[in-house]
Amino acid sequence: MATSPLSLSSKPPSITRLRHQRPPLTTVRASAATVTTTTGMPDHHHPSLEITGGGADRFLPAFNTLHLPYKPFPIIGWNRHLETIFAAFFRTVPEVKYRRECLRTQDNGTIALDWVYGDHPSLPSDSPILILLPGLTGGSQDSYVKHMLVKAKSKGWRVVVFNSRGCANSPVTTPQLQTASFTADTCHVVDHVSSRYPKASIYAVGWSLGGNILVNYLGREHRRCSLSGAVSLCNPFNLVIADENLRKGFNNIYDRALRGGLSRTFDKHASLFEEMHDEYNVQAGLNPRTVREYDEAITRVSLGYKSVDEYYSNSCSCHVVQHVRIPLLCIQAANDPIAPIEATPCSDIKDNPNCMLIVTPQGGHLGWVAGDDAPFGAPWTDNVVIEFLEHLQKNASKPESS
């Protein structure tokens, strides 16, 4: 559950190298010629990828890059905290001009969509569309969002950023901000985009909390989902585990950064909540000590949960992976400090013929400082995501005009 850039401080803090340990996974190791099953972590000196999922054999032909070893950028990519903070502060931010469209929801809320300026008249009406869902308090201004946008646009795709309520300076018209489990807004956005471009195939990519929101939508709304494919990156999956992990050791720095972003957003719109003071703890929302305290004071109340633990438990996308009915690629980093790998529902992904999971040995959170564009350019994941989406689009049957 993160946003980029992290609101940590003007200068990155000192970094202490921590060792990440976890039990071995059963993996499929991809090579140019064969696919074999192995057990255990890749060799430390020759890092490779762990690939699993019920749809792995089906989707592996999509990729031209997965036979290559994952090579983290020297020094930066060797420590998960350094990589996470470096990507947040020092990754380049491409220039992108947006055209904003605000949608009104049934509960009188407002969603802000940022379309790439000039695409509407210049691209064919059946051009594939990519909806981007940023992380917690993130939006269309974030570097990882813009890099993916530029990559997809270069392939002739139409791209739109779905800014959750209150994010990216979007207007707030009801006492509800971004949440992990509220899928009604995602339904509204997908339906709107589908009706606007009925001849186009539509896909989605979500990062961190945006990935959790996306997978929740895919699983809960699988009977009405009109997406043709999706990608989830650094998804916390199990918010109960992620919450506990976020308050451990050095990870407190991310908790402080995230709660700062939440409180700043809330401060802009606190007047909407003050008239309901008996329900919301406005003062705790303005000055929360942790993300958990903010969610207890504000988020769980807006959704009608009795406690923050109930909110977290009912917002876990790991519970609905088994119901996903469209192609879904999940990419996680084994050393992610914010979305711990042990929260990933490997068994359900393995049992679902529509899902594929790639685990990189390094990457941090929203980092993946590796590949030809490292250290300042696009994350390593961008090429992998585009290969997957283009493979789906190549084999997709376009929906008929409504």
Active-site residue set: 208, 336, 365
Residue 95 neighbours by CB under 8 Å, 6+ apart: none
Nearest Cα neighbor of 345 from 190, 240, 202 is 240
Pairing of β 202-207 and β 129-133: parallel
Rounded Cα gap, residues 53 and 328, in angstroms: 10
CB count in 10 Å sphere of residue 217:
29
What gap in Å lies between CA 230 and CA 322, rounded to an integer? 15
Task: Please check whether residue 3 is in contact with residue 256, taking contact to mean a CB–CB distance below 8 angstroms.
Answer: no
| Residue partners of 309: CB distance under 8 A and separation at least 6 | 240
Range 249-253 contact pairs with CB under 8 angstroms and sequence separation of 24 or more: 249/18, 250/16, 250/18, 250/81, 250/337, 251/337, 251/338, 253/8, 253/13, 253/81
In this structure, the strands spanning 202-207 and 229-233 are parallel
Helix or strand run (H / E) with residue 159? strand 158-163
The enclosing H or E element of 204 equals: strand 202-207
Q: Which amino acid is at 317?
A: S
Angle at 133 between CA 386 and CA 316, to 5 degrees: 110
Residue 99 forms beta bridges with which residues?
Answer: 115
Structure tokens at 38: 């192995």
